[in-house]
Chains A and B, each alone.
Chain A
């Protein structure tokens, strides 16, 4: 069974600075996908970025990048040039590749951006 670990209780960052949100995972399956979602106070879950286990390069989507270190089983999210609107909960998730596979979420990290 797969497991996602997010241990940072809460993060604070100054506006316009970069911040890294940590995520480690555990699986014995060689083929899997890693996801990050943002959940603002409104409650919606917003997909941010995806990294496949066989991808050769780290994924990037605008100000979001994923620091994928396969040997260490970590998939940290880097947000550059933080904005006030980035204040939210951030969830790391993983899914083993294949039909009927389920998305497993970590506990989430709260990010607060200070003006």
Chain B
């Protein structure tokens, strides 16, 4: 199975501040994804991050609120900007390797609480 790490694993932040979440994968991958999981809910895709191009955002998510970087084939960051309590969620990154089929493997997640 793939190895995907995320930092931080959890954080408590004040409203109006920003938090950057890092995602590192163990081998080069073309597609990385960022998801949000609000309390008691399922996963919702925020955006797809391909190396060398702008991230593709899903409906309801905008770059100003969730800027994403993908500087190389093993790393990505998601920033949650100008946070409000409604941003309290688990944020998960995932990656998909062609040689491993179409399965997406997930990182351990970042638990964010905004006060």
A4 and B50 CA atoms in complex are apart in Å by 26
- A47-B1, A50-B103, A103-B33 known; 13 other A-B pairs, CB under 8 Å? A37-B106, A42-B108, A44-B106, A44-B108, A45-B109, A46-B106, A47-B103, A47-B104, A47-B105, A102-B45, A106-B42, A107-B42, A108-B42
B71-115 toward A: CB 8 Å interface, digit per residue (1/0)?
000000000000000000010101000000111111111010000
Q: How far is the CB of A89 from chain B (nearest CB, A)?
A: 9
Within 8 A of A (CB), among B17-55: 33, 37, 41-43, 45, 48
Interface residues on B, range: 20 to 34
Measured between C-beta atoms, what is the minimum distance from B46 to chain A in Å?
A: 11
User: Shortest Cβ distance from B84 into chain A, in angstroms?
Assistant: 21
Within the assembled complex, what's the spacing in Å between the Cα atoms of A50 and B33? 19
- Chain A residues with CB below 8 A from B103, complex form: 35, 47, 50
CB distance A95 to B109 under 8 Å?
no
A68 at the interface (CB under 8 A from B): no
Q: Which residues of B contact A (CB under 8 A)?
A: 1, 33, 37, 41-43, 45, 48, 90, 92, 94, 101-109, 111
A interface size (C-beta, 8 A): 20
A-B contacts, 26 listed (Cβ < 8 Å): A33-B102, A35-B103, A35-B104, A37-B106, A42-B109, A43-B37, A43-B109, A43-B111, A44-B106, A44-B107, A44-B108, A44-B109, A45-B109, A46-B106, A47-B1, A47-B104, A47-B105, A47-B106, A91-B42, A91-B43, A97-B102, A100-B48, A102-B45, A103-B33, A105-B43, A108-B42
